Structure 1
Amino acid sequence: LSRIAPGLYLGNSTAAEDTRLLQSLGITHVLNVTEELPMVEWAPSMRITLADMAHANLLDTFEDALGFIDLALGDQRDVKAFTNARGILVHCLMGRSRSASIIIAYIMRKYKLNYRAAHTYVHSKRPIIWPNLGFVNQLNLW
């Protein structure tokens, strides 16, 4: 489990199963970026069904995924509706490719960075990230 930014965490399936740890970190939402892992039941959550394959369409997931992260972090215009939201875990099986790619896209958009700068930043927080080549190409295009 790695803290990428205030309230924004990137992890794997093991982290997603550790309810006590997540709650102790103030994580109130979970974004599951897998086809296969079960959803958490204790928090608002969303599944982005995405295979870790170079041909998988990452770009089509951004609207839903980034919107859910915004909601969890209270980055919406109607802040009153989200005053209790404090944090989100974005996870996949290993926390290396699918979830890392979503986090990189979020960092690119929020801080107006290109892929390389966003990847470097996220990698500094979680050195094991390794987005697959298809995701890298799509992020560079985006």
Structure 2
Amino acid sequence: MRKRERENPCGICGHYHKYEEGEVCGVCGHRWKASEGEGVPARHESAFPTEVLKDFLFLGSYDNASRSEVLKTLSISHILNTVPACQNLYKNSFTYHNLQHDRPLDFDEANQFLEQCERDKSRVLVHCMTGKNRSAAIVAAFLMKSRGWRLAQSFQWVKDRRPQVQLADASQHELLEYEQKLFGSSVQSLVPTESFASLGFGFPKPAGDIQAPTCNQMTLPSIFERVSPNNVPANFTFGAERTVGVNPQENNNNGSVNPTSTDNLMDSS
């Protein structure tokens, strides 16, 4: 290896490879992608993973997981690897847990590991190759299980913190099935005795300093298409009570939210 290459490690993975020429790293498999239609390296994403739950849960890519110095700076001690074929680089420095199968995603296995990390007050990184699909789905499933949030709320919480998240169709389908497994198809069964009205669905208020996410109750083509707060209509209200025996068309004409919109989301799954 030439002297210049020894003194010029990759800015993403920290290993020595000809990243400027698009060469794949022989250690971790990282490749610095070039801009579309250009021959120069693109601006890479942040070396830091996304903090989803304060002082506990982080979401990121394999690039993030390959930077041990960054992980140590964030006091991350555990890593959940959602890609079975992905190499664990620092087994002597971090506690790893690997999902065993590509599909379907094993939400129960992942949640068991994450719940143990939370009980032990350990900081954990959940990662896939890009931090946009598999790992994001795992984190959304954990929020549903541990916080009691429905899928739309959990996904919005993750998307707000990591805007580049983009779930594949398979991940969306598996999350919808997991939501039905946790909550069933009845919205009424989700309302506990003590509810947190500002959530709009009667969910319990999360403990600690975590602010519960709001959820758009309009009927959308997909719950995974996030609606910006600026797009919420002026007559939109949270916590709207379900009105029994009222024609949905009449409600729409009066300017109120269709009380069956949440049911429609579940029926569409």
State the TM-score, normalized to the length of structure 1: 0.84
Among 53, 58, 64, the residue aligned to 1:5: 53
Task: Indicate the residue corresponding to 1:102 in structure 2.
Answer: 138
Separation in 1, partners of 2:69, 2:117: 18
Separation in 2, partners of 1:67, 1:36: 21
Separation in 2, partners of 1:114, 1:135: 16
1:57 aligns with 2:104: yes
Separation in 1, partners of 2:73, 2:116: 20
Task: Indicate the residue corresponding to 2:82 in structure 1.
Answer: 33
SS of corresponding position for 2:167: coil
Query: CA RMSD of the aligned region, Å?
Result: 1.3
For structure 2, the 5+ residue unaligned runs are: 1-48, 179-269
Look up the equivalent residue of 2:170 and give its one-letter code.
G
The structure whose residues are more often helix, as a share, is 1
Among 166, 177, 194, the residue aligned to 1:130: 166
For structure 1, the 5+ residue unaligned runs are: 75-81
1:91 aligns with 2:127: yes
How much does 1:131 deviate?
A: 1.4
Look up the equivalent residue of 1:73 and give its one-letter code.
E
Alignment length, in residue pairs? 127
Among 51, 72, 75, the residue aligned to 2:117: 72
Q: Percent identity?
A: 23
Greater mean alpha carbon deviation, residues 104-113 or residues 42-51: 42-51
SS of corresponding position for 1:116: helix
Separation in 2, partners of 1:106, 1:49: 18
Larger-gyration structure (1/2) = 2
Q: Which has the higher contact order (CA 8 A, sep 6+)?
A: 1
Among 39, 58, 68, the residue aligned to 1:19: 68
